[in-house]
Amino acid sequence: VNLKQLFRRSVEDSELSEELQSHLAHEIDDNLARGMSPEEARRVAYVKLGDPLRIRDRVWETNRLGWIEDIWRDLRYAARILRKAPSFTCVALLVMALGIGANTAIYSFLDSLLLSSLPVSDPGSLVAVNWHAKSIDGDSVMHSMSGSVYDEPNGGAISPAAYCRSPDRADPRSPAGSKDRRRRVRSQSGT
Amino acid sequence: MLTYLDGRWETMNDRANSEMVQGTLDMLILRTLITGPAHGHTIAHVIEHTSENVLEVEQGSLYPALHRLEHRGWVSSYWGVSENNRRAKFYKLTALGKKQLTAETDRWRTVVAAIGRILGESQ
């Protein structure tokens, strides 16, 4: 089954109807030759073939293209329904346009306010730092350090173990014994 | 009499026993077309008569099968005039269809021989 056949579907279907009609005609010919009355010949032929619509359905089932065709039909159905209810379509379009527009506007506003206008020379070079570390219990911890970093009280290197989230500590950002001194990110932005 | 219904041959009172023969309609159609192009009515007729009316092709299954075979490229079709002087759609075996027929016939013979051995029939 290919795309060309997908669009030839109605042609194929009418061809199948014609084929079934031809089949019935031959069957009626045979029945007449067996000595049936014209009416009987016709009736028996139709009974033997069964419902032509069901056969067309079954041929359609075997030839169908699955999801592409389903989506195509759904889209056409949606378009038809929307055309039938223009007021609903207008309201729906308006609501969606406003929703998307508002989101875009708010995001671009916040973007220029918070992200692009940081008081550093090169805001684009700022990075967010994430740790991956193990706590004493063996739990894997991922702690987001976006925005600020901590200074060690003894002035040493930042130790991942000191900032782990551990189950018995309510605030993971204040490890016991450390003076919670924050250094602004902009001091990390060297340029 | 076995009737081909919904993909398998069925008897009137025993509907479960004939799944073995599933898919054989395709093979029988291809075999029928070996002798030359034919339209659907002839194909059903030939299968029924050659099997001495043991196999009855349910016509609701015949046309879906023919169209399936055509989509697989095993038969091609054209419109012509039948022996009754009526317009009819003729089906013709393709080279691919001939290959398929050979393969299916071989498979069928293997299965039948195997079952025969199990049933203890002499070869």
Of B45, B58, B67, the CB nearest to A59: B67
User: Per the CB < 8 Å rule, is A23 touching B86?
Assistant: no
How large is the average pLDDT for residues A1-20? 74
User: Per the CB < 8 Å rule, is B59 touching A22?
Assistant: no
Read off φ and ψ for residue B85, nearest 5 degrees: 65, 35
How large is the average pLDDT for residues B101-117? 91
* A25, pLDDT greater than 70: yes
Neighbours of B3 (CB within 10 A): 16
Read off φ and ψ for residue B80, nearest 5 degrees: -145, -170
Band of the pLDDT at A170, cuts 50, 70, 90? very low
Question: What was the pLDDT predicted at A88?
Answer: 92
User: Per the CB < 8 Å rule, is A19 touching B41?
Assistant: no
- ipTM for this model: 0.74
| Minimum distance, in Å, between the CA of residue A19 and any CA atom of chain B | 6
The span from the first CA to the last CA of chain A, in angstroms, equals 61
Which residue, B98, B101, B123, is CA-closest to B112? B123
Question: What was the pLDDT predicted at A171?
Answer: 45
Compute the mean pLDDT over every residue in chain B, rounded to the nearest whole number: 82
Which has more confidence, A32 or B57?
A32
| Minimum distance, in Å, between the CA of residue B105 and any CA atom of chain A | 23
| Minimum distance, in Å, between the CA of residue B26 and any CA atom of chain A | 14
Question: What was the pLDDT predicted at B59?
Answer: 75
* B66, pLDDT greater than 70: yes
Question: What was the pLDDT predicted at A177?
Answer: 44
* B92, pLDDT greater than 90: yes
- Say yes or no: A93 contacts chain B, CB-CB below 8 A: no
Question: What was the pLDDT predicted at A182?
Answer: 43
User: Per the CB < 8 Å rule, is A58 touching B58?
Assistant: no
**Residues within 8 A of A (CB atoms), B 93-122 only:** none
Of A1, A16, A48, the CB nearest to B63: A16
Global pTM value:
0.54
Amino acid at A125: S
* B100, pLDDT greater than 90: yes
Question: What was the pLDDT predicted at A28?
Answer: 92
Of B41, B64, B68, the CB nearest to A23: B41
d(CA B14, CA B12): 6
d(CA B38, CA B45): 11
Question: What was the pLDDT predicted at B7?
Answer: 59
